Chains A and B, each alone.
Chain A
Amino acid sequence: MSEATTFCLIVSAVLFGIGTLGVLPRRSAITILMSIEIMLNAGNLALIAVSRVLPGQGGLGLVDGHVFVLFVLAIAAAEAAVGLAIVLALYRLKRSTDIEVLRLLRW
């Protein structure tokens, strides 16, 4: 395994950590959404880095990982669209995107 791959994997792990830590203490729904996108992109980076060095055909590495990344990008876009629509509906109702306003459903 090359140094470049190791480096990419370390960066992806750091990104994943940033994303996870970004989700937990946040109050703004939009910031949480952005942190989740960072987590997904950490996964993408790891997939590409790994896919390049795995043994495949024609010197390209194994292409499964590359294809997977395209799917993840498409899904992330769909997810962001639905998520922002939900946040918008919340804003219409409460005039705020702060998740502190979500406290009707408590025991």
Chain B
Amino acid sequence: MDYQLFEIWTAMPTLWPAVYGLLLLLFVPALREDRQWLWGFAVAGMVLTIVVPSYMLYHIGSYGDYRETAGMLGMEMVRADRLSLSLDILFGVAGLLALLLMPVYLDRARAYRPEVYPLTFLSVAGMTIMVGTDNLMMIFLGLEVLSISLYVMCGIARETPTGIEAALKYFLLGAFSTGFLVYGVALLYGATGSLDLEGIASAVALGAPGLAPYGDGMLLAGMALVIVAFAFKIGAVPFHFWTPDVYQGAPTPVTAFMAAGTKAAAFGVLLRLLHTGLSSSIDVSSRWILALSVLAAATMIIGNVMALVQDRVKRLLAFSSVAHAGYLLLGLLAPLDVGVANVVFYLTVYTFMTIGAFAVVSVFQDAGHDADHISHFSGLWSRHPVLAVTMAVFLLSLTGIPPMGGFTCKYVIFLSALRAGHPLLALIMGIAAVIGAYYYLRVLVAMFFKPPEQELSAEIVVPSPTRVVLAVSVVATVLLGILPSYVLEPLSRISASLAMLP
């Protein structure tokens, strides 16, 4: 049926947030005083950012996979398939939850700047570009649109020393990893003669790399550099050292958005890059499987061990996010048909539980500063029981205690690692999760069994948008744990959209 509608729809998950974000930026000067209106427009736009890919995903069966041809170069650069649309929904959810947290937090931190709303839209647009393509150039563009917006969002509290320190660290490390990405892509391009993942796959399968005498070396070096660049972005050990500083220094709603959104986008790209682009030859795929195994093991162990000694909850959650990146890397190692659904399911659960936990942390502010020391949390049960129980749900889920979502997603990754023939890594995952239980439970014990130590100067007040975020996250975390099949079953069809060339 109507062919043209279908073409423009392909790019809609990206076009919508990009255009809406730019329009919002135009309205910022006019609505500088009318904060509520600007915020309302932002939230409404972000709701539609979720609705557009959901609608497309719902109807995808009737159209097949959408594809759009970028006319000028005669290449297919934008695509909308089950993987990209599922992740697009997730980015919208992360953006929406972060937008709900932002105004009150930034106001209390005296760092309210309305530009943060358009920047959120632009970084969501960057994420949708990244996952909605098979082309390395588009992946690079999307990653940069996402990152550059996030650098600014981190530094939005530019009068606070910690805020600007986080922004500068994130920027320097992010730009450094961009250098690796560009050089790695250049080498991959030289070795295979294509920027398109399917072109790369067929060149790799033929074993006839583009530039004859150095082809193999270039291919491996390029692959290594690209993996390093993405390891920086997801915070895998040994490229994780920016994570705790940036997570702690950035405004908490931005941290929540960054933790959930960036991770989902980077893993979406890794799924495509590794499974579509670099899996057509056993010789090549065995090497990235080895590299990722080492990264995954180091990330799981060091992330969890470093979290043990943290006294600030934001830093603790940062190391926990490093550890979760390790579990997700393990999910990448599984073969396509089981691995993809598990990774996307894990990202879904992770989005809700981590944003929920950061939402609780965002409530703890004292005179404009983060009051996220563990001692601020002790005795929370007697001061604000509902908040304590809410935080307990997220912490138990991050630990991986049934019946929370965090258990189910760890369990499916564990099983797929066993089935993929990585029993040692599965064992490391089990041990790492047990170590992890200690520091999550430490916060729990402080909240429920210790008397209040360090009183905040003001009463704990949970603003109503934050209540919405907490309610949504709790319900989603629990439901995904009890009824995972309602999400896992549709996700299991994703792998078809990544299926290899014949």
Contacts and interface: CB of A to CB of B under 8 A. Distances in A.
Interface of A: 1, 5, 9, 12, 16, 19-20, 23, 29, 32-33, 36, 39-40, 42-44, 46-47, 49-51, 53-55, 62-65, 67-68, 71-72, 75, 78-79, 82-83, 85-87, 89-90, 93-94, 99, 102, 104-107
B7 interface: no
Interface of B: 73, 75, 137, 140-141, 144, 148, 151-152, 155, 158-159, 161-162, 164-169, 171-172, 175-176, 178-180, 182-183, 185-187, 189-190, 193-195, 210-214, 244-245, 248-249, 309-310, 315
Contact of A40 (B166, B169, B172, B182): B182
A71 B190 contact: no
Contacts of B166: 105
A107 B305 CA distance: 14
Contacts of B195: 64-65, 68
A1 B212 contact: yes
Contact of B189 (A50, A83, A105): A50
A105 B211 contact: no
A43 B182 contact: yes
A76 B137 CA distance: 14
Nearest to B310: A107
16 contacts: A9-B214, A36-B179, A39-B182, A43-B182, A43-B185, A44-B186, A65-B189, A67-B137, A71-B140, A83-B151, A85-B152, A89-B167, A93-B158, A93-B161, A99-B168, A106-B245
Contact of A50 (B140, B155, B190): B190
A86 B164 contact: yes
Contacts, number: 149
Nearest to B179: A39
Contacts of B172: 23, 29, 32-33, 36, 83, 99
A49 B183 CA distance: 12
Contact of B73 (A5, A9, A64): A64
A49 B140 CA distance: 19
B176 A23 contact: yes
A106 B164 CA distance: 15
A67 to B, nearest CB: 7
Contacts of A65: 186, 189, 195
Contact of B144 (A20, A36, A78, A89): A78
Nearest to B196: A64
A33 B406 CA distance: 40
Contacts of A53: 211
A29 B168 contact: yes
Nearest to A15: B183
A85 B164 CA distance: 11
A83 B155 CA distance: 11
A107 B185 CA distance: 35
Given A67-B137, A104-B165, A46 B183 contact: yes
Q: What 7 pairs between A and B have smallest CB-CB spacing?
A: A39-B179, A43-B182, A50-B190, A46-B186, A105-B245, A43-B183, A89-B158
